Amino acid sequence: MPAVMEKIQPVNSPKRPYPMERTRNIGIAAHIDAGKTTATERILFYTGLIHRMGEVHEGTTVTDWMEQERERGITITSAATTCYWTQKEDGCPKLFEGLGHRINIIDTPGHVDFTAEVERAMRVLDGAVAVFCGVAGVQPQSETVWRQATKYRVPRIAFVNKMDRVGADFDAVVQELRQKLGAYAWPVYIPIGSEDQLRGVIDVVAQKAILYGSDELGSSYEVAEIPEELRDRAQAALAELIDAVSNKDDEVAELVIEDKPVDALTLKRAIRRLTCRLEMVPVLGGSAFKNKGIQPLIDAIVDYLPSPLDIPPATGQKADDPEELVEVKADDHAPHCSLAFKLWSDPYVGKLVFIRVYRGMLQKGDTIINTRTGRRERVSRLMMVQADKRIDVDTVFAGDIAALVGVKNISTGDTLCSRQERIMLEPPTFPEPVISMAVEPQSKADRDRLNEGLQRLSEEDPTFRVFTNEETGQLIIAGMGELHLEIIRDRLFREFKVQANAGAPQIAYRETITQPADGEGKFVRQTGGRGQYGHAVIKIEPNERGKGVAIENKIVGGVIPKEYIPAVIAGLQEAIASGVLAGYPLVDLKIQIVDGTYHEVDSSELAFKMAGIFALKDAVRKAGPILLEPVMKVECTTPEEYQGDILGDLNRRRGKIVSIEAKSNATIIHAHVPLAEMFGYATAIRSLSRGRASYSMEPHSFEPVPANLAAAILDSAVPKAARS
C-alpha cells in the first residue's frame, strides 16, 4: 500500500498520463562548475531515461547538447527534459511509495553571462534543486540564483555535491547556507565519509544507512543499520531536525510538547509543508560524479518539492482591466492560459516557443490569443522536449512544460490564452547588457545572413541587444559579458554561416544627473504656410540609484492639451535613450512636465516631441551630468602565497577590496572592480598564480567614473554624441 493515499482531484483531466499531484517541475541551478549537469545526467540515468551516463568532460551529456556546450564543458542554454520515477520500498519510509511521478527538469547555466536562462526558468518552475560544491560552498553565482529563486518564490532543496573531493566539508556548507543565504537549512541526508572514504548517506528521518558497494554505476545500494561510530551523530541530527521543524509546524510542535514520538512519515509531511511554503530548505549530500546519493535526491524531489497544486496559483491582470487581478488556478477543465518563457531556433523544425501551461488544456488545432498583441494564433504543432529531441503530442495539460511550433509574433514573456478569458501573467525580468561591440559583415551575402541571424538570436535571448549607432552607422551588439558575445559570434558562424569581423568589446556606460534642474524646450518653425509650434517646461531631479527613470505629468489648466502629452513623453524618452554627455542612455532620474504653451493652428505632435527632446537636453546640462560605469562583484580564490600579488593587481585595476576570508588551504578575496579594468583578467590571474588561482564575477552596480577617466571617455565619444 502507498504510504499516502491520493485524493481524487477534480482538476485533472481523465486524458492525462500523470495526475497533477504526481508532476514535478524542477530546475537544477548553481554556481558554475558545482556539478549541475553531472547531477542531471545521473538523475536521467537512474530514472531509466538514458542507458549510459554522459560526462561533461567528454562532451557526451544529454542536456549540454549544443556544440559550444560540449566543446567548452559549460551549460549555455537551459535544457528541458522529462523523466519518470517510482519510489520503491527499501526500508526507508517515503511519502509516495509505489507511486510513479513525472519529473520535468530544466538544467540551467551557472555562468553569470547566461543569467537570463536562469531567470526565465525560475519564473516558470514549481521547485528547484540548488547544487553546491562540497569544497567551495556558497559562491557568488550561488547567491545570484538563490536570489532569483526567492524573487519568484520557488521552493528549493539543497544538494551538497562533490563530497568525494579533497577538502569537502558538509557541515561547513550547511553553515554557509544559513549565514550567507539566510536559509533555514537542515540536513535530511548526511554523507557517510568524505573524499575517497565516501561510501553512502544516512537517511536522518528514517535513521537508516544507504551504503553503496562495488557497483561503480551506483545503481544498486543496501539499506542497513547506521554504523556504530555514526549512530550518535545521526540521532543528534534527527533531534535537531525535529526541533527545527517543530519551531514552524504546528502538528510536530504538538507532538513534541506532549512528549510523543514523531514518526518518519509525520516528519516528512511536515518538512514537505514547510518546504512548499518556503519556510525550510532540506539539505542532502553526495557525489554525482562518483554516483553516490543521487537516488535519495530523486526521492527528496518527489517527497519535498511541490506539484503545481501545492503552490499558490499564479496571478495575472485582466487584459481589458489591468487593475483587476485574477487567480490562475491549475485546472485542466478551465480556459487555457500559458506563459511563453523562451524562444529557440531549431535547425529542423524552425522556431520553437517554450510555454509553461498554468491552466487548461491545449490541443492541436486550437486557436489561442497573444494578450500583448491581441493577435490570434492557430496551434498547428505541439511538442514535448527531451533536451535536443522533440516528441510530437496532441494535447498538453495544466502544469506541463511544452513547445509550440509555427506560431509567429510571440516574444519572451507573452501570455497565451483561450478566447474565453484574456489574462496577462507577469513576465520574467532581465538585467541590462553591460558590454557591447561593433560587428561588420565581410560581404553583401554575409550582410543578409547576419541581419537574419542577429534578429533570431535577439528574439531568443532577452539580454542580447542589436542596434545601429546613428552617428557612425556601425552595427552594435550588446550582451552580459565577453563570453556571452563570443558565443553569439560563434553561433552566427556555425548556425547562420556568417563571416563577420568584430571590434574590441566596449563598455556600456550610462549617464545620470547629480542635482535638480529646470529645462525648457521650444520648437518653432514658420515656412509660409502652416508652421510648427511646441513648447514644454520640465523639472528633473536625481532618482535613487537603480530605480530607473520616472516621468510624471504635472500639467494643469490645459497649458499643453492632453493629446500632445504623449508626444512630449516620447520626446523625453528619445532624449533619455541617446543621452547628453556622450550618447549613452540616461538612468535614475525623475522628470516632471510642469508647464508649456501651444498654438491653436501650428501645434503638432512632432513639434511637442521635439520640444520634449530640447527640454530634457537643456535640463540635463544644468543638472551636473556624470558618467556611470558598470562595476562587477569579483571573487578570486587563490593559494595563500599568491594573495599579495592578486591584491596588488586588483588595486591597480581600481578594485575596492570588500573582504578576505580563509577557507581550508585557500584564500578567497571579494572585491568590486570596474568592468573596464577586467578585460583579459583570466590570463592575468593565471600568470600571477602559475595557473592555480581562479575567479568569477557578476554585475554589481553602476558607479560614477572618476573625473580624469571620464574626460578621456568623453573625448573618444565626440563623434557619437555630436557634442550637442
pLDDT single digits (tens) 235-266: 999 999 999 999 999 999 999 999 999 999 99
For residue 672, the cross-strand partners are 633, 656
**CB hemisphere CA count around 400 (13 angstroms):** 26
For β-strands 281-285 and 156-161, DSSP reports them as: parallel
Q: Over 50: is that where the pLDDT of 146 sits?
A: yes
Q: Which of 7-11, 12-16, 19-23 has the lowest mean pLDDT?
A: 7-11
Torsion of the alpha carbons at 272, 97, 16 and 28, rounded to the nearest 10:
50
Residue 469 has pLDDT above 70, yes or no: no
Q: When comparing pLDDT for 53 and 503, which is higher? A: 503
473 confidence band (pLDDT: 50, 70, 90): low
DSSP 60: -
Average pLDDT rounded to a whole number, residues 101-115:
77
The answer to whether 436-452+465-506 and 629-712 have equal CATH topology is: yes
Cα gap 431→436, rounded to integer Å: 14
For the ranges 168-177, 188-197, 337-346, 558-567, the lowest mean pLDDT is seen at 337-346
CATH 3.30.70.2860 fits 314-425, yes or no: no
Nearest 5°: CA angle at 31, between 101 and 669? Answer: 155
Highest mean pLDDT: which range of 132-136, 579-583, 708-712: 132-136
Q: 49-83: string of b/e by CB count within 10 Å (b at 16+)?
A: bbeebbebeeeebbbbbbeebbebebbbbbbbbbb
What pLDDT is stored for residue 185 in this prediction?
95
> Among 222, 188, 224, 191, which Cα is nearest to 208's?
224
Q: What is the pLDDT of residue 323?
A: 78
User: In b/e form, how buried is each residue of 494-525, taking b as 16+ CB within 10 angstroms?
Assistant: eebebebeeeebebbbbbbbeeebbbebbbee
Close Cβ partners of 431 (under 8 Å, ≥ 6 residues apart):
115, 116, 463, 480, 699
Mean pLDDT across 183-210: 92
pLDDT in tens, 479-502: 877 778 888 888 888 878 888 887
Tens digits of residue pLDDT in 370-417: 888 888 888 888 988 765 577 888 999 998 888 888 887 888 888 999
Does residue 676 sit in helix, strand or coil?
helix
Contacts 24+ apart (CB under 8 A), 711-719: 713/509, 713/582, 713/627, 714/581, 714/582, 714/627, 717/581, 717/582, 717/583, 717/584, 719/471, 719/472
Does the pLDDT of residue 201 top 50, yes or no? yes
Q: Is the pLDDT of residue 220 over 90?
A: no
| pLDDT confidence of residue 723 | 40
What percent of the chain has a predicted confidence (pLDDT) above 70? 90
* Topology, domain 20-304: Rossmann fold (3.40.50)
Say if residues 53 and 15 touch (Cβ distance below 8 Å). no
Q: Is the pLDDT of residue 669 over 60?
A: yes
pLDDT (average), residues 168-179:
93
Average pLDDT score, the chain:
84
How large a percentage of the chain has pLDDT more than 90? 36
Average pLDDT over residues 449-473: 78
CB 300 within 8 A of CB 286: no
pLDDT at 10: 65
The domain limits of the chain are 20-304, 314-425, 436-452+465-506, 511-624, 629-712
Q: What is the pLDDT of residue 5?
A: 37
The sign of the CA dihedral 669, 670, 672, 678 is positive
Distance CA 86, CA 126 (A): 20
Say if residue 143's pLDDT is above 50.
Answer: yes
CB 215 within 8 A of CB 313: no
The answer, yes or no, to whether residue 110 has pLDDT greater than 90, is no
The CATH number of the domain covering residues in 436-452+465-506? 3.30.70.870
Mean pLDDT, to the nearest integer, of 263-292? 94
Least confident interval from 435-439, 540-544, 615-619 = 435-439
Q: How far is 539 from 516, CA to CA, in rounded Å?
A: 7
Confidence of residue 3 (pLDDT cuts 50, 70, 90): very low
| Backbone phi, psi, residue 590, to 5° | -105, 135
Q: What is the pLDDT of residue 147?
A: 82
pLDDT exceeds cutoff 80 at 129:
yes
Residue, of 357 and 664, whose pLDDT is higher: 357
Rounded (10°) CA dihedral 544, 550, 554, 559:
130
Q: What angle do CA 47, 197, 166 make, to 5 degrees?
A: 95
Q: What's the whole-number mean pLDDT along residues 154-169? A: 93
pLDDT at 359 over 50: yes
pLDDT in tens, 554-566: 888 888 988 899 9
Instruction: Give the architecture (CATH level 2) of 629-712.
Output: 2-Layer Sandwich (3.30)
Where is mean pLDDT largest: 118-122, 296-300, 603-607? 296-300
Question: Where does the pLDDT of residue 74 fall: very low under 50, low under 70, confident under 90, or very high at 90 and above?
Answer: low
Strands 510-512, 626-639: parallel, antiparallel or unpaired by DSSP?
antiparallel
State how far the Cα of 151 lies from the Cα of 237, in Å rounded to an integer: 30
Q: Which of 279-283, 304-308, 361-365, 434-438 has the lowest mean pLDDT?
A: 434-438
Q: Which numeric CATH code is attached to 511-624?
A: 3.30.230.10
